[in-house]
Amino acid sequence: MVKHSQATTIRDVARQARVSAATVSRYLNRSAPVAAETGQRIQQAMRELGYSPRLAARALATHKTYTVGVISNALNYAFFGPLLRGMDEVLREQEYRLLMATCIAGQDRGNLPFGPHNTDGVVVFANTVDDEQLIEWHAVGFPCVLLYRLPPGDLSFPCVNVENHAAVRQLTEHLIEAHGRRRIAFIHAPDYHQDDLQREAGYREALRRYGLPYDAALVLRGDYRREQASRAIEAFLARVLSDCDAVVAGDDDLALTVLGALYRAGVNVPEQVAVVGFDDQHFAASLVPPLTTVRAPTEAVGRVAARQVLHLIRGEAVERETLLPTDLVLRRSCGCAGQSLRKGLSESYHPQMLVGR
Amino acid sequence: MVKHSQATTIRDVARQARVSAATVSRYLNRSAPVAAETGQRIQQAMRELGYSPRLAARALATHKTYTVGVISNALNYAFFGPLLRGMDEVLREQEYRLLMATCIAGQDRGNLPFGPHNTDGVVVFANTVDDEQLIEWHAVGFPCVLLYRLPPGDLSFPCVNVENHAAVRQLTEHLIEAHGRRRIAFIHAPDYHQDDLQREAGYREALRRYGLPYDAALVLRGDYRREQASRAIEAFLARVLSDCDAVVAGDDDLALTVLGALYRAGVNVPEQVAVVGFDDQHFAASLVPPLTTVRAPTEAVGRVAARQVLHLIRGEAVERETLLPTDLVLRRSCGCAGQSLRKGLSESYHPQMLVGR
Query: Taking CB atoms and an 8 Å limit, are B342 and A266 in contact across chains?
Result: yes
Query: Taking CB atoms and an 8 Å limit, are B242 and A346 in contact across chains?
Result: yes
Query: Taking CB atoms and an 8 Å limit, are A99 and B88 in contact across chains?
Result: no
B292-295: long-range contacts, CB 8 A cutoff, minimum separation 24: B292/B171, B292/B328, B292/B329, B292/B330, B292/B331, B292/B332, B292/B333, B292/B334, B292/B336, B293/B252, B293/B255, B293/B329, B293/B331, B294/B167, B294/B168, B294/B171, B294/B326, B294/B327, B294/B328, B294/B329, B295/B326, B295/B327, B295/B328, B295/B329
Q: What are phi and psi of A295, to 5 degrees?
A: -80, 110
Tell me which chain A residues have a C-beta less than 8 angstroms from the C-beta of B267: 345, 349, 351
Report the pLDDT value the prediction gives residue A53, as an integer from 0 to 100: 66
Closest residue of A to B118, CA-based? A118
Amino acid code (one letter) for B292: T
B232-238 average pLDDT score: 93
Tell me which chain A residues have a C-beta less than 8 angstroms from the C-beta of B98: 101-102
Quick one: pLDDT band at residue B12, thresholds 50, 70, 90? confident
A239-A243-A246 Cα angle (round to 5): 100
Whether domain A165-296+328-334 has CATH 3.40.50.2300: the reply is yes
| Domain edges within chain B | 1-61, 165-297+328-334
Whether domain B165-297+328-334 has CATH 2.60.40.420: the reply is no
Residues 86-115 of A with CB under 8 A from B: 88, 97-102, 113
pLDDT of B217 strictly over 80 = yes
Q: What is the CATH number of domain B1-61?
A: 1.10.260.40
pLDDT of B6 strictly over 80 = no
Instruction: Report whether B125 contacts B98 (CB < 8 A).
Output: no
Residues 36-55 of B with CB under 8 A from A: none
Tell me which chain A residues have a C-beta less than 8 angstroms from the C-beta of B77: 78, 81
Q: What is the pLDDT of residues B108-129, one digit of tens each?
A: 767 788 988 889 999 999 888 8
* Best to test chain B binding among A65, A95, A282 (most B CBs inside 10 Å): A282
Print the SS3 string covering B77-98: CCCHHHHHHHHHHHHHHCCCEE
Residue in B82, B286, B343 closest to A287 by CB: B286
Helix (H) or strand (E) holding B294: strand B293-295
Instruction: Report whether B280 contacts B294 (CB < 8 A).
Output: yes
Query: Taking CB atoms and an 8 Å limit, are A267 and B345 in contact across chains?
Result: yes
Instruction: Report whether B126 contacts B148 (CB < 8 A).
Output: yes
Instruction: Report whether A265 contacts B349 (CB < 8 A).
Output: yes
The answer to whether domain B1-61 and domain B165-297+328-334 are alike in fold is: no
Pairing of strands A327-329, A293-295: antiparallel
CA nearest neighbour of A24 among A139, A153, A152 = A139
Report the pLDDT value the prediction gives residue A349, as an integer from 0 to 100: 30
Cβ–Cβ contacts within 10 Å for residue B179, how many?
16
CA–CA distances in Å: residue A109 to residues A74, A130, A136, A229, A355: 16, 7, 13, 27, 53
Structure-model confidence comparison of residues A60 and B196, the more confident one = B196
Amino acid code (one letter) for A315: G
Quick one: pLDDT band at residue B57, thresholds 50, 70, 90? low
Instruction: Report whether A282 contacts A268 (CB < 8 A).
Output: no
CA distance A299 to A297: 6
Tell me which chain A residues have a C-beta less than 8 angstroms from the C-beta of B237: 345-346
Q: Any bridge partners for residue B276, and if so which? A: B248, B292
Angle at which helices A80-93 and B80-93 cross, to 10°: 90
What CATH class is the domain A1-62? mainly alpha
Residues near A171 by beta carbon (within 8 Å), at least 6 away in sequence: A202, A206, A248, A276, A278, A292, A294, A328
Structure-model confidence comparison of residues A186 and B52, the more confident one = A186
CA–CA distances in Å: residue A12 to residues A30, A136, B292: 19, 11, 60
Query: Taking CB atoms and an 8 Å limit, are A356 and B354 in contact across chains?
Result: yes
Tell me which chain B residues have a C-beta less than 8 angstroms from the C-beta of A84: 75-76
- Say yes or no: ipTM exceeds 0.95: no
What letter would DSSP give residue B313? H
pLDDT of B339 strictly over 60 = no
**pLDDT tens digits in sequence order for chain A, 357 residues long:** 333 334 577 788 888 888 888 888 777 776 677 888 888 888 888 888 877 765 555 545 556 889 999 998 776 667 888 899 899 999 999 989 999 998 876 677 667 889 888 899 999 998 888 888 899 899 888 999 999 988 888 788 999 999 999 999 999 999 999 999 999 999 998 876 788 899 999 999 999 999 999 999 999 987 677 667 888 999 999 999 999 999 999 999 899 999 989 988 999 999 999 999 999 988 898 888 899 999 999 999 999 999 999 999 998 989 899 999 999 999 999 999 864 333 333 333 322 222 222
